[in-house]
Amino acid sequence: MPKTDRLNGCLDQIELEFVEREATPRLLMKLSIQLHLAGLSLSNTVSFLEVFGVQRARSTVHNWVHKADLQPQDGREPDHVAVDETVIQLDDEHYWLYAAVDPDTNELLHTQLEPTKTNVLARAFFTELREKHDVDDAVFLVDGATPLKDACQRHGLDFRYERHGNRNSVERVFREIKRRTSSFSNCFSNAEADIADDWLKSFSFAWNQLI
């Protein structure tokens, strides 16, 4: 499918029900949300709007992205699921990003940002993943992280240890997230954990549309 078709489909899926009194044309709002999530900085997104004679603050575009409440589509049935966690920095604090990716399509299935890495949180992540997608018959690809293996065992899921191969898909996602957060001095500056978690889910939505 051409990227232009996927972009149009993405725009159709961006709902603006949160809008009450907004003078910006809805198409420009959708384009701004999509362009920012696809990699354009807030400053450059604002400059894009100025081309159409629309002047908005960076915080306004940020609020559009947050209020749109975008998330990856539910109901996937992958044969394999690559799962991993990585450190995300919020100002001077470290959080753990849990992520699940379909290695056959590179689609992000689910993300969750947590303040630490524990067996209990990993199990909760798998619970949410199973509620969103049909993954009970999938083979889970994990590295040596004990919480992920423990979660698979507790949920009765088939898993195998794999450091590379199909697990590279989740590593590619993490690299892109790290690249994007480098726009904020390699962290989410002045962002609460729930705001960062919402942004990561919105990023997942856009990632799936554009891969």
User: Does 124 lie in the same domain as 39?
Assistant: no
Q: According to the model, what pLDDT value does residue 131 have?
A: 97
Q: According to the model, what pLDDT value does residue 76 have?
A: 96
pLDDT digit string, tens, across residues 114-149: 999 999 999 999 999 999 999 999 999 998 778 999
Residue 40 forms part of a structural domain: yes
Which residues constitute the domain of residue 58?
3-68
Residue 52 forms part of a structural domain: yes
Last residue of a domain, one of 35, 68, 101: 68
User: Does 32 lie in the same domain as 109?
Assistant: no
Alpha carbons 179 and 70: distance in angstroms, whole number: 20
Residue 163 forms part of a structural domain: yes
109 membership: H or E segment, kind and range: strand 107-114
150-188 CB burial, b ≥16 within 10 A, e <16: bbbeebebebeebeeebbbbbbebbeebeebbeebeebb
Looking up tokens 């450190």, which residue turns up?
Answer: 87
pLDDT digit string, tens, across residues 16-63: 777 777 788 888 989 999 888 888 888 899 999 999 999 999 888 988
Model pTM score? 0.81
pLDDT band at 206 (very low <50, low <70, confident <90, very high): confident
Compute how many other C-beta atoms are within 10 angstroms of the C-beta atom of residue 62: 16
Alpha carbons 202 and 211: distance in angstroms, whole number: 15
Radius of gyration of the chain (CA): 18
Domain tally, the chain: 2
User: Does 105 lie in the same domain as 15?
Assistant: no
Long-range CB contacts (within 8 A, 24+) of 169-174: 169/82, 169/101, 169/102, 169/103, 169/106, 170/82, 170/83, 170/84, 170/99, 170/100, 170/101, 170/103, 171/84, 172/106, 173/99, 173/101, 173/106, 173/108, 173/207, 174/84, 174/86, 174/97, 174/99
Residue 123 forms part of a structural domain: yes
Q: According to the model, what pLDDT value does residue 66 have?
A: 86
Query: In the chain, what percentage of residues exceed pLDDT 90?
Result: 39
pLDDT digit string, tens, across residues 154-191: 999 999 987 766 667 778 888 887 777 655 544 466 67
Alpha carbons 30 and 180: distance in angstroms, whole number: 20
